[in-house]
Each structure stands twice: as C-alpha cells, then as structure tokens.
Amino acid sequence: MAISRRAILGGLPAATAGLMLGRPAAAEPSRVVPSTGVRVPVVGLGSWITFNVGDDPVLLDQCAAVIAAFAEEGGGMIDSSPMYGSAQGTIGHGLSRLGDRAPIFSADKVWTSAPREAPEQIARTAQNWGVSEFDLLQVHNLRAWEAHLDRLVAMKSEGRLGHVGVTTSHGRRHAELERIMRDQPLDFVQLTYNALDREAEARLLPLAQERGIGVIVNRPYRRGALIDRFAGAPLPGWAAEIDAQSWAQVLLKFVISHPAVTTAIPATRQVAHLRENKAAARGPLPDAALRRRMAADLARL
C-alpha cells in the first residue's frame, strides 16, 4: 500500500510537517523554507549514482542501512530523479523498512521533454518511493520547465504537493535559472555549490535570499573529487575552530554555513560517511570571515 510521505511527516499539512523533523538530532541545525515555514535539517541525502544499484540484494541492503541511519540521525531531505536509474526504487526499498513516522522530506524531479508524459512519470516516481505525495517536486535541469512548472504549481495549489522547485547542476544555465527565480513562484532551487565551485555566490544565492527561495546544494564534494583532491594534505589550523575532523567535514561546513543554503544533499552508500556528514552539521560552523579564509586557502591547495 502506498504511504503518504507527508503523512509520515506527522499527518500534518506540509507547512507544519517539517516541525516533526530533527527528533534525535537536537543539535543539528535546520533551516526554514521561507515560502512555507517548513524546517528542513541542513544535511540531506542525495542518490545520484550511489543508490543506482539495480536489484542487487547486497547493495540494496547497504543503501537501506544508509537511509535508516539517516532517519536515526534526524533525517531530512532525500532527493532523487527519474534520471537516476534504479535510485528511486532503492529509496522505496529503504523507506519500506522504516517506521511510519520516519523524518523524511521527500524530494524528486520531473525529467522529460514531453510535458504530457509528466503525470505518468510522477505517478511512477511515487510508486517507486512507495508514497502517494511528495514534499517537493522539481523540474530536472530546467528541462521543458515552463509546462512542468505550471503543472507542479497547480498540484501544490490543489494540496497534492508540498513544494515546487527547479534544478541545475555543474554551474550550467545560471543566467536562465536567475530569470526563472525572478519570475516564477518557486519554493526551492537546486544548484551546485562547493568550496571551489562558487559562481552561485555572486547572484543566485543572494537572489534566493531576496526572493525567499530555499536552496538545495548538490555536488558539495564534486562527487567525491574534492575529498580526493585534499586527501593527502593536513587539515588547516582553522579546521579545529569549527570542530572539523576530516576534509569532508571541512567542505560540508563551508557549504552549509552560507546563509542562503537550506540543505546540502551529499550522496553516499556508506553509513560511516553519512554519520560523518550529519556530525559536520552539529558542530560549529564558520562565520563570514572564516568562510572567506577557507575559500582562499582551499583554492590555493
């Protein structure tokens, strides 16, 4: 039987469902989605590549363990897309093992050039997750965004959807994204932002704050490449100031300390990495001065 994900969040309207989040993770900061007042833990969970495991029972169990640990650590946003192979089904598999009140903010996407295919795709996505409604649906990579956005806004106004958003990645199509952010009624925008990919700082992040749009950050580690890049180097002295125990925590703290960022969605299939990500959110975060220093130092390394 399909479960209403928003019902899992407490059987409450989306505007208050987020208050259920963060149960055991008292110290993990959460951020308010400006348009709805929902609070979302600042570290979420992505699913690109890591959760695309087909029907491999061993890897499905690994992913389910990550999702269980995520819920145990306070939960938050899990993000996927029809483009991510079997990732949606993997999430559904993991969620089916959780209790009815798992603190998950369900986020997925519409990914098709043919707007008429969207309803069927959304229905299939919900079936894969095992939910009847989503907290957030986004237009993937701005693909056919006008028609999809109209549909998603209509779904939201009918009470069948919590939030509406659009996504980009790898810093692509930022000019078009900026126009959409100015003109359209968005709850969320998803974009790439990390210590070395900082183009969003110039216009998009300030615009999101100005327009009251929540920001989801993808590729906080550039798919692990940033962690690999810094791996051999000792942690800088300022890492101790923010209780960062690893490069992953340094990089994640940099991302989530930007005041415009609502949540970052690093992906992993390792429970230890998931817990490391969640721990990064609980400790102190850098202030604006330290962020500038971090950015300068990391660019030099």
Q: Which residues here bind other proteins, judged by CB under 8 A?
A: 48-50, 52-56, 58-59, 83-86, 170-173, 223
* Shortest separation between residue 198's beta carbon and other proteins, angstroms: 16
> Which residue lies nearer to other proteins by CB, 59 or 65?
59
**What is the separation of C-alpha 9 from the centre of its chain, rounded to a whole number of angstroms?**
17
* Shortest separation between residue 154's beta carbon and other proteins, angstroms: 28
How far apart CA 5 and CA 1 sit, in angstroms, is 12
* Tokens (6 digits) for 20: 């259920």
In this structure, the strands spanning 188-192 and 161-167 are parallel
> Which residue lies nearer to other proteins by CB, 62 or 138?
62
* Shortest separation between residue 37's beta carbon and other proteins, angstroms: 35
**What is the separation of C-alpha 195 from the centre of its chain, rounded to a whole number of angstroms?**
17
> Which residue lies nearer to other proteins by CB, 36 or 141?
141
- Residue 202 CB burial class (10 angstroms; 0-12, 13-18, ≥19): exposed
Q: What residues does 78 pair with on adjacent strands?
A: 45, 106
* Shortest separation between residue 216's beta carbon and other proteins, angstroms: 19
- What lies within 8 Å, CB to CB, of 286 at 6+ separation is 238, 241, 242, 253, 254, 257, 294
Residue linked to tokens 């230890």: 272
> Which residue lies nearer to other proteins by CB, 52 or 262?
52
* Shortest separation between residue 260's beta carbon and other proteins, angstroms: 24
- Residue 297 CB burial class (10 angstroms; 0-12, 13-18, ≥19): middle
- Residue 191 in 3-state DSSP? strand
Using H for helix, E for strand and C for coil, what is the string for 122-133? HHHHHHHHCECC
> Which residue lies nearer to other proteins by CB, 268 or 277?
268
Residue linked to tokens 């939910």: 131
How far apart CA 33 and CA 213 sit, in angstroms, is 7
* Shortest separation between residue 221's beta carbon and other proteins, angstroms: 14
- What value, to the nearest 5°, has the Cα angle with vertex 214 and ends 140 and 277? 85
* Shortest separation between residue 204's beta carbon and other proteins, angstroms: 16
> Which residue lies nearer to other proteins by CB, 138 or 257?
138
* Shortest separation between residue 172's beta carbon and other proteins, angstroms: 5
> Which residue lies nearer to other proteins by CB, 97 or 170?
170
* Tokens (6 digits) for 226: 């940033």
> Which residue lies nearer to other proteins by CB, 35 or 52?
52
